[in-house]
Structure 1
Amino acid sequence: MRKPRDIDAELKALQEKAKQLKVQRTLQLGELVEVTGADTLSIEALAGVLLAAVEQADGKPEAVARWTERGTAFFQVGAKKGGRKGTGNDQNGSAGA
């Protein structure tokens, strides 16, 4: 006969893993803010930009597509060079688009 599974221990391990992943995600978001240069904005301005982006994402899927293209290019080119390429405001993905 097989040994019964310790469901409580498995659940606790999964909860700990979820907690670690949440911490890792938070750290990565902070790193993203820094590498894009958004850390030069005030907290209020950064919050406003993010709120505007979330509002636009609901009604303008084409804006999200442009932002995604721009973000992909940033990680493929800009981040490799250590610079902030592609972070200027233009028609291809600024928060006001």
Structure 2
Amino acid sequence: MRKPKDFDSELKALADKAKAIKERRVRQLGELVTATGADTLDADMLAGVLLHAATVKDAATKEGWRKAGAAFFQGKTRQPAPRSDQRSEGALPLDGGAAPR
């Protein structure tokens, strides 16, 4: 006779894997913000920029952003925004994340 499947443990394993993937994605997004120098922006401004970018419909504008992003990742224009030693009011602190550069 075959051993019955343990569906509960399989579901738990899948849930754990999904959680790990979500955590990795959040960490990578944070690393992207830091790598581009956008961590110098206060949280309100960064949120506003992202909200605007998410609503833009102009294909030419999006293509320009895509090309600039691709060039950044290829190292052609890897010049992040200048960093300030002072954190702007409203900026999020680094809680156990990467050390500031």
Q: TM-score, normalised by structure 1?
A: 0.72
Greater relative contact order (CA < 8 Å, ≥ 6 in sequence): 2
Give how far 1:44 is off. 1.0
Supply the distance in 1 between the matched residues of 2:2 and 2:63 (Cα, whole angstroms): 51
Root mean square deviation of aligned Cα: 2.0
**Structure 1 residues without counterparts, runs of 5 or longer:** 88-97
- Matched AA of 1:84: Q
Q: Are residues 6 and 45 of structure 1, via their aligned partners in 2, closer, same or farther at CA, if it must alter by over 3 Å?
A: same
Q: Does 1:64 align with 2:62?
A: yes
**Structure 2 residues without counterparts, runs of 5 or longer:** 82-101
Give how far 1:54 is off. 0.6
- Matched AA of 1:63: T
What CA deviation, in whole Å up to 9, does each residue of 1:2-29 have, x standing for no partner?
3222111111101011111111111111
Partner of 1:2: 2
Question: Is the 1:33–1:39 contact (alpha carbons within 8 Å) kept by the matching residues of 2?
Answer: yes
Question: Is the 1:35–1:84 contact (alpha carbons within 8 Å) kept by the matching residues of 2?
Answer: no
The correspondence of residues 46-57 of structure 1 with structure 2, limited to 5 A, is 46-56=46-56
What CA deviation, in whole Å up to 9, does each residue of 1:15-73 have, x standing for no partner?
011111111111111111111000111111111100110110xx223332222222111
Moved over 4 A (4+): none
What CA deviation, in whole Å up to 9, does each residue of 1:52-96 have, x standing for no partner?
10110xx223332222222111111158xxx426x6xxxxxxxxx
Question: Which structure features the higher share of helix residues?
Answer: 1
Partner of 1:84: 79
Judge which range, 36-45 or 63-72, deviates more: 63-72
